[in-house]
Every structure is written in structure tokens, then in C-alpha cells.
Amino acid sequence: MVDAELIESVMLKGNLLELILEHIELKPNDMYFEGACPFCKTAQTSFVVNKFAGMFSCENCHKSGDLFKFVELFYDLDFLNAVAFLARKYELVPGPKA
């Protein structure tokens, strides 16, 4: 079971833009970063990350969300496993770093 405190800790320590940049190339455009969507595999620039809001969206496939949703979609995990993945990545729980 994942508790609310761990979820809050992940939200405070995690950075959506940095996580996404580990996987895909994005180009800055004012307060947004844009690139090809990793979910719909289109070559067009339809994927946008708002670094201040910590949200992403794709105009093409309409997938959107926050840090947890990106991990769920990118790694095909449910919410609890996405929280556990991020908690390990940010060294908030013992175990191998994700």
C-alpha cells in the first residue's frame, strides 16, 4: 500500500520535464517544451510539457497528465507501481534505483 505522504514526497522531489528529457528530445518554446509524442509515435511536434504546471499533453493522441501519468503510460504501469518506481528513482524508499 502506498500512503499519501509518499505520493506527496514524490511530487515534491520529482520533476516531470527532467524525467521526460531522459527519454525524448524536447525543444524550449517560451514556458513550454515541445517535441514528438512518445505515445502516438508521430514525427510531428504535438507533445507539449509545461514545466511550471508539471503537466504534459499531446494534441494528436490526447494523452495528458502529470509525473505519475507519464510513468504509467511510458512504462505501462498502474498508479501504485508508478509511485513505487518514482519513489525508488528519487531514493525515497530503499531498493535499486529505477
Span of 39-43, 48-52, 84-88, 94-98 with lowest mean pLDDT: 94-98
Answer yes or no: is 43 within a domain: yes
Secondary structure (3-state) at 34:
strand
Answer yes or no: is 75 within a domain: yes
Task: State the total domains in the chain.
Answer: 1
- Residue-wise pLDDT tens digits, 6-21: 999 999 999 999 999 9
Say how far apart CA 47 and CA 60 lie, in whole Å. 8
Answer yes or no: is 96 within a domain: no
60: Cα within 13 Å, side-chain hemisphere:
15
In sign, the C-alpha dihedral spanning 19, 9, 93, 5 is negative
- Residue-wise pLDDT tens digits, 77-91: 999 999 999 999 999
Q: How far is CA 86 from CA 42, 50, 69, in A?
A: 27, 20, 11
**pTM confidence score:** 0.90
Provide the residue range defining the domain that includes 70.
Answer: 4-89
Helix (H), strand (E) at residue 46 = strand 45-50
